[in-house]
C-alpha cells in the first residue's frame, strides 16, 4: 500500500450529482443508502446492555500496540467507542463550548450574515437537514468551520476571539483524529502516516469540518415521541469526534447487525471523554471491516432536561482530490469529493 494516498490530478466535477448510474456505481449506492436509512425512523426499543467501549489514549507512543488493539476491537464491534487521555484539556473544551453558546445566542440577523456556503460545508444554517429516516427537519442549528472556505463567515465584529478559539480547537481535534486513524491505517496494511497525507489542512481541497451544534429547547410537558433533534443517520466522513455536555443526553446508537431490531443504546455524556464513530468513507476504505453505525438524537423524555442542548463534532474527511481505494478491491476507486457528493445526493434524494 502506498505511503501517500493517491490524488486525482484532474478531479471529477462536483457541482451537481449525476442523473443516473455513474462509473463509480453511484446511482445504485444512493438508492441502497436511501432505502437503508428510510427504515430507521421508528421509535424502536432501548438496549442498555450494549457496551460502548472506552479506550485510554494516555502514553500513546509507548502504548501504541495496546491502544491499536483496543481501538480496533471497539470500532469493529459497534462502530462507536469513546476515548479518554486524548490530550485535549477540559479548559479547551469549555472555551469551545463557550464560543458556540455565544454564537448561537446572537440574533438571527447577525448569524444570517454568515450563511452556509452550499457544497462547501462552511457557515451557519438552521432547520435545513431533513433526514430520510424521519422526513422532518432536525430540530437544530449549526455553524460549520471548513478551513479553505471561511472568507466572510467569521463573526469577528460580534465575537472577538471566536475565530482564534475555534481554529485552535479544530487543529487539536484533527491531531487526535489522525492519531486514531494512524492505528486503523496500520491494521489495514497502510503506512502509519497514510491518513495524515489524506487530511492536509494546507490543501485547498481540505474538507474536514468542525461543527458547532445547538439543539432547540423542547417545552416541558410537550409530547416527546416523534420529536427528533436529529433523525437516524450515519456520518459521511472517515472518523467523527463528538464532544457532549454532561446532563445533555439524547444521543443513541444502533449497530448495523441490530438495525432490523431497532435496538438503540444511549451514549451518556461525560466531560472527560470524546465519543468517536466510524463514518461511511472509512467503512468503504476498509472494505467494510470498520462499520459505520446509525445514530440519532432523541427528544427529551418527561424526566429529562428540556432546555438547550449543545455539542461539538469534528468530521475527519479526506481532501477532495484524494482517491478512496479499498485494499481488498470491494469498491471501485472514487475521489473523496465524488464520494461525498454521492452520499449527500442519497441523503437528500427525496
DSSP annotation string for 26-64: HHHHHHHHHHHHHTT-S--EE--SS---EEE-SSTTTTH
pLDDT band at 22; cut points 50, 70, 90: very low
Question: In the prediction, which pLDDT does 34 show?
Answer: 53
pLDDT band at 86 (very low <50, low <70, confident <90, very high): very high
Pairing of strands 54-56, 80-84: parallel
What's the pLDDT score for residue 44? 80
Query: What percent of the chain clears pLDDT 70, i.e. is strictly above it?
Result: 82
Q: Which residues make Cβ contacts (< 8 Å) with residue 13, sequence separation at least 6? A: none
pLDDT of residue 38: 59
- Span of 18-27, 157-166, 323-332 with lowest mean pLDDT: 18-27
Give the per-residue pLDDT at 4: 73
Which pLDDT belongs to residue 46?
Answer: 80
Classified as helix, coil or strand, 154 is coil
Residue 294 DSSP class: E
pLDDT at position 81 over 50: yes
What is the chain's mean pLDDT, rounded?
A: 86
Note the pLDDT tens digit of each residue in 34-44. 556 656 667 78
| Per-residue CA distances from 299 to 19, 72, 206, 226, 332 (Å) | 36, 32, 34, 8, 39
Sequence-distant contacts of 13-17: CB under 8 A, at least 24 apart? 14/119, 14/320, 14/337, 14/338, 14/341, 15/119, 17/341, 17/342, 17/344, 17/345
**For the ranges 139-148, 291-300, 308-317, which has the lowest average pLDDT?**
291-300
CA of residue 330 relative to chain centroid, distance: 23
Instruction: Of 18-22, 43-47, 54-58, 174-178, give the lowest mean pLDDT range.
Output: 18-22
**95-120: average pLDDT:** 96
Looking at residue 30, its pLDDT comes to: 46
Question: Taking Cα atoms as reference points, which of 114, 314, 316 lies closest to residue 210?
Answer: 314
In this structure, what is the dihedral angle of CA atoms 90, 84, 140, 46, given to the nearest 10 degrees? Answer: -140
Point out which residues pair with 141 in neighbouring strands: 126, 214
**What residues have CB less than 8 Å from 43, skipping those under 6 apart?**
225, 226, 262
The 10 Å CB-count burial string (b at 16+, else e) for 239-277 is bbbbbbbeebbbbbbbbbebbeebbbbbbebeeebbbbb
List, in sequence order, every residue forming a beta bridge with 2; answer none if it has no partner: none
Q: Which residues contact 215 (CB under 8 A, 6 or more apart)?
A: 139, 140, 229, 230, 250, 297, 308, 309, 310, 311
Q: Which residue has the higher pLDDT, 16 or 176?
A: 176
344 phi/psi in degrees, rounded to 5: -65, -40
Position of cell 469526534?
241
Helix/strand/coil for 198 = helix
Strands 294-298 and 309-316, by their bridges, are unpaired
β partners of residue 296? 252
Instruction: Determine the pLDDT at residue 135.
Output: 61
Select the highest-mean-pLDDT range: 2-11, 260-269, 340-349.
260-269
Instruction: Give the 3-state secondary structure percentages of the chain, helix then strand then coil, rounded to 5.
Output: 30, 20, 50
**Dist. CA 239–CA 314, nearest whole Å:** 8
Q: What is the mean pLDDT of residues 216-238?
A: 76
* Cβ 175 vs Cβ 181: under 8 Å: no
Amino acid at each position: 500500500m502506498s505511503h501517500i494516498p493517491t490524488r486525482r490530478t484532474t478531479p471529477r466535477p462536483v457541482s451537481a450529482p449525476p442523473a443516473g448510474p455513474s462509473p463509480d456505481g453511484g446511482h445504485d449506492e444512493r438508492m441502497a443508502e436511501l432505502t437503508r436509512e428510510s427504515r430507521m425512523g421508528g421509535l424502536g426499543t432501548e438496549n442498555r446492555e450494549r457496551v460502548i467501549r472506552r479506550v485510554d489514549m494516555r502514553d500513546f507512543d509507548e502504548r501504541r500496540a495496546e491502544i491499536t488493539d483496543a481501538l480496533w476491537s471497539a470500532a469493529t464491534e459497534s462502530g462507536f467507542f469513546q476515548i479518554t487521555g486524548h490530550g485535549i484539556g477540559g479548559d479547551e473544551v469549555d472555551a469551545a463550548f463557550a464560543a458556540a453558546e455565544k454564537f448561537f445566542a446572537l440574533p438571527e440577523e447577525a448569524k444570517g450574515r454568515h450563511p452556509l456556503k452550499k457544497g462547501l460545508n462552511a457557515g451557519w444554517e438552521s432547520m435545513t437537514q431533513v433526514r430520510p429516516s424521519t422526513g422532518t427537519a432536525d430540530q437544530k442549528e449549526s455553524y460549520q468551520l471548513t478551513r479553505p472556505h471561511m472568507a466572510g463567515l467569521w463573526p469577528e465584529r460580534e465575537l472577538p476571539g471566536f475565530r482564534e478559539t475555534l481554529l485552535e480547537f479544530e487543529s487539536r481535534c484533527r491531531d487526535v483524529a489522525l492519531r486514531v486513524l494512524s492505528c486503523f491505517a496500520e491494521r489495514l496494511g497502510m503506512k502509519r502516516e497514510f491518513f495524515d497525507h489524506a487530511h492536509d489542512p494546507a490543501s485547498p481541497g481540505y474538507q474536514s469540518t468542525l461543527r458547532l451544534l445547538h439543539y432547540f429547547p423542547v417545552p416541558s410537558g410537550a409530547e416527546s415521541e416523534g420529536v427528533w433533534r436529529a433523525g437516524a443517520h450515519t456520518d459521511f466522513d472517515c472518523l467523527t469526534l463528538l464532544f457532549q455536555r454532561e446532563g445533555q443526553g439524547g444521543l443513541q446508537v444502533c449497530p448495523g447487525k441490530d438495525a432490523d431490531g431497532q435496538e438503540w443504546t444511549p451514549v451518556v455524556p461525560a466531560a472527560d471523554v470524546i465519543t468517536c464513530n466510524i463514518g461511511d468513507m472509512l467503512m468503504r476504505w476498509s472494505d467494510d471491516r470498520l462499520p459505520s453505525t446509525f445514530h440519532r438524537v432523541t427528544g427529551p423524555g418527561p424526566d429529562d432536561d428540556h432546555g438547550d442542548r449543545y455539542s461539538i463534532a469534528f468530521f475527519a474527511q479526506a481532501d477532495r482530490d484524494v482517491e478512496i481505494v479499498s485494499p481488498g478491491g470491494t469498491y471501485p476507486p472514487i475521489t473523496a469529493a465524488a464520494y461525498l457528493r454521492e452520499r449527500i445526493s442519497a441523503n437528500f434524494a427525496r
